[in-house]
Amino acid sequence: MKAIRQARSRKTAFRFAGFGLLILSWSTAPSAQESRPRLYDVVTETDMPHLEENLRYAVRREKHCLDRHDLSEAFWMLGHASLQDCRLVKAAEDAGSATYRLQCDGGHGTTGDARWQFEAGRMNGTLRVRLGGKNMTFYQRITATPADVTVGR
């Protein structure tokens, strides 16, 4: 009789353990998927208000792999030679947004920030930069929507 109770309690323990693992896998699956980089259709609008009208605005469309939890390199303008010593450092993040501050090591006084909004199915980010020593500013705005990836047509 005692052996039967022990076997039943083991079965019950295994069932609860299996059920617990199942619930744990359900609760971690979405967050694991969110943290993986994903392919996006990216539209980047660059506005340089100090330039002449025909040079001040540009739009770039491309596909990029972005990780919502690290968007520090999403803005292509940060690869320009004039900003080679600058990088975005995450300042805050919550479920719906993230903010970064521009950190430059060259001592030239360039300042800026980036703000991201996360909505269902898309991300919107704005980089604002004020070049040090000059009264010149520029903005880059990114709209990223998940790319429609179809394989094997």
Instruction: Give a yes or no: residue 95 inside a domain.
Output: yes
CA–CA dist 14, 25 (Å, integer): 16
Same domain, 22 and 85: no
Instruction: Tell me which residue of 137, 140, 139 sits closest to 50, measured CA to CA.
Output: 137
pLDDT of residue 58: 81
Q: In the predicted model, what is the mean pLDDT of residues 2-22? A: 46
Please report whether residue 100 resides in a domain: yes
- Residue 141's nearest CA partner among 76, 69, 80 is 76
Question: Residues 43, 118: one domain?
Answer: yes
Q: How confident is the model at residue 36 (pLDDT cuts 50, 70, 90)?
A: confident
End-to-end CA distance of the chain: 64
Reported residue count of the chain is 153
Closest Cα partner for 126 from 85, 82, 74?
Answer: 74
As a whole number of Å, the CA-based R_g of the chain is 24
Q: Are residues 107 and 79 located together in one domain of the fold?
A: yes
Judge if 28 and 57 occupy the same domain.
no
Its domain, for residue 70, covers 36-146
pLDDT digits (tens, 9 = 90+) for 46-72: 888 766 555 556 888 999 899 988 999
The tokens 């323990």 sit on which residue? 13
Q: What is the pLDDT of residue 73?
A: 92
**pLDDT over 70 percentage in the chain:** 67
pLDDT the model gives residue 26: 37
Tokens of 58: 């540009």
Q: What is the mean pLDDT of residues 10-26?
A: 41
In contact, 75 and 114? CB cutoff 8 Å: yes
Average pLDDT taken over every residue of the chain: 77
Higher model confidence: residue 152 or residue 137? 137
- Phi/psi-derived region of residue 129, left when phi > 0, alpha when psi is between -120 and 50, beta in every other case: beta
Confidence class for position 106, pLDDT limits 50, 70, 90: confident
